[in-house]
Amino acid sequence: MATTMGFFTDQSLCIGCKACEVACKQWNQLPADGFEWRGTSYDNTRHLSSETWRHVAFIEQDDVKKQETGKSVDWLMVSDVCKHCSNAGCMEACPTGAIIRNEFGDVYVQPDICNGCGYCVPSCPFGVIEQDEHWGVAQKCTLCYDRQKIGIEPACAKACPTDSIKFGNLDELREKARERVGVLQERGVTNAYLYGVDEDTSVGDLNSFFLLTERPSTYNLPEKPKLPQDNLVPAFVASFVAATFMTVSMALSLRKKKR
């Protein structure tokens, strides 16, 4: 197997230009999202989907945060993408083997094998993968598998003008990311940290990880991502308790009627 490759997305360098979104759509021949302004953001893409594999989120800080920073308008911008999890819920849920880990370590959907069952959709703790409404198959970021095979970096990383999106060997990227966190903290950005690296969660490390400066929930990311099967034991216990309560209640009711 080839060296595991991935993304390191540095939120502190993102300027919200959306060049990565455009490059992703152009290279993968994905349809446009239309042009619709909404009252909460200068962002018409809204979220990742089967037709948007890179999404730059525009997050306007609230009034309290503005007072803390002393700025009249304070924005956070970050380019979101499939996390290519070490323990991928979508891959575990796929009954046909359509979702595989390719030779670069990426979680890849084989469209010619996907039967459109949709089991992978609720199995992703990040809400990334989605079924295409026209073809019915599941689609998400491929980490530009076709470009990697000929030795070219993914389109989004190539197009990023600030080098906010870095592509390469995962071990090397993690080392660079840790150094970057150290630099930012020395400069006074004490809340800088890595999301998806050395975290004790059931999804494992993320092959597409992030440097963030606010809590994960600020960026619509789960604080502690977990696979759906983590809920099996609590759900079983809850069902058992409910069934026991109903059985005891019914038995007591019948006993009273007999009296």
Same domain, yes or no: 102 and 161: yes
Same domain, yes or no: 234 and 218: no
Domain count within the chain: 2
Same domain, yes or no: 135 and 241: no
pLDDT, residue 33, reads 83
Same domain, yes or no: 67 and 169: yes
| This prediction's pTM | 0.84
Q: Residue 22 belongs to what domain range?
A: 5-226
Give strand pairing partners of 116. none
Say which DSSP state 101 is in.
E
> 177: domain CATH number?
3.30.70.20
pLDDT, residue 240, reads 44
Same domain, yes or no: 247 and 174: no
Same domain, yes or no: 120 and 134: yes
CA distances from 138 to 23, 45, 90, 131 (A): 21, 19, 10, 4
Same domain, yes or no: 57 and 81: yes
pLDDT, residue 231, reads 56
**Residue 170: φ, ψ to 5°:** -60, -45
pLDDT, residue 259, reads 60
Per-residue pLDDT tens, the chain, 259 aa: give them: 468 999 999 999 999 999 999 999 999 999 988 777 766 667 878 889 999 999 999 888 766 566 666 666 678 899 999 999 999 999 999 999 999 999 999 999 999 999 999 999 999 999 999 999 888 999 999 999 999 999 999 999 999 999 999 999 999 999 999 999 999 999 999 999 999 999 889 999 999 999 999 999 999 999 999 998 775 444 444 554 565 657 766 766 766 666 6
Same domain, yes or no: 143 and 257: no
Same domain, yes or no: 245 and 200: no
Same domain, yes or no: 83 and 139: yes
Same domain, yes or no: 76 and 186: yes
Residue 53 · residue 20 · CB < 8 Å: no
Same domain, yes or no: 112 and 239: no
Using CA atoms, how far apart are residues 138 and 115, in angstroms rounded to an integer?
9
